[in-house]
Amino acid sequence: MSAEPADQLLFTYGTLQYAEVQLDTFGRLLGGERDALPGYTIDYVEVADQRVADVSGMSVQPVLRATGNPLDKVTGTVLQVSAAELDAADEYEVSLYRRVAVTLTSGRDAWVYVG
């Protein structure tokens, strides 16, 4: 009998916090906890993927930019996701983003999508 893979943490600062996006992407609503990511700021970019724009209701989306300055920080929500849900998030986040491992203000390690 194999064990189910442990949930992973995903730090969200944009549309993955929206109920309609979570339902479309994960098939369920995810509870989360507020946290922050130091050393980053948010820029905004036009969404080229029409499906993402339709699901989120936004034609412009936030994208993280690393500054390296510990005084900069982005607040958001930490979600517990399964490996399959992380794969679904990878599909939702268009080629504009890449997933990287970060350490949050709380000291927790999480995945996040950056530009």
Q: What is the pLDDT of residues 51-68, one digit of tens each?
A: 666 666 667 778 899 999
Domain residue spans in the chain?
Answer: 8-114
Q: What pLDDT is stored for residue 4 in this prediction?
A: 46
Q: Is the pLDDT of residue 34 over 90?
A: yes
E strands of the chain, at which residues? 8-12, 32-38, 40-46, 60-66, 73-81, 98-103, 109-114
In the numeric block, the tokens 């922050």 are attached to 36
What is the CATH code of the structural domain delimited by 8-114? 3.10.490.10
The C-alpha atoms of residue 70 and residue 54 are separated, in whole angstroms, by: 35
The pTM of this model reads: 0.83
